Amino acid sequence: MIFEILLLVAALSVDSLAAAVSYGLAKIKIGFTRSLLISIICSMFLVFSAAFAGVIGAYIDEGITKTVSFLILFVIGIIKLMEKDKSERPETLSASKTVLFAVSMSVDGLAAGFGAGLTAEDNLWAVGAAACIITFLTVFLGNIAGLKVNKKAPAVMQKLGGVAIIAVGVCKLI
């Protein structure tokens, strides 16, 4: 059961990792506190949906969660593409964008949580703890990696970060 929980959380965290690297490439810094907030929100979505799988699972279509996630990431990516090149110093992710990032990463957790909820009811604490830790690590370290790559890359890399954010959104539709 623990292996299944870790596998589920790792699968959900791949999107967070890709998005966090993309933000770093776009010269957007996700600091420690923001990474922690994102991981808490993502974990809460997952645990909530696992806990109430039987009750609300029938009301939310997986296609809706994918579409909402895509739309949020697509809009963020377009905004990044339209911005002028930034200075050498990366901007810090704002509080509102932190919540949008967390929600866009969490909607997949809703659908996955419904499936996991049917078998993980007795282990919700383990699901929440694993999700919080792994998501924090993928967001925080992935963003640092993206920022480091961007430091050594030409200014066009910021635009590629916006394209990468859109690509993560498109992947959510697939």
Q: Read off the pTM.
A: 0.72
The total of other beta-carbon atoms located within 10 Å of residue 40's CB is: 16
Distance CA 16, CA 45 (A): 14
Which whole number is the average pLDDT over 99-113? 77
pLDDT-based confidence at residue 159 (cuts at 50, 70, 90): confident
Residues 6+ apart with CB under 8 A from 59: none
Distance CA 140, CA 131 (A): 14
pLDDT of residue 87: 57
Distance CA 8, CA 109 (A): 9
Q: Which two tokens stand for residue 38?
A: 């994102």
Q: Residue 83 pLDDT more than 70?
A: no
- SS3 labels along 100-135: HHHHHHHHHHHHHHHHHHCCCHHHHHHHHHHHHHHH
Question: Which is it for the CA torsion 146, 149, 151, 154, positive or negative?
Answer: negative
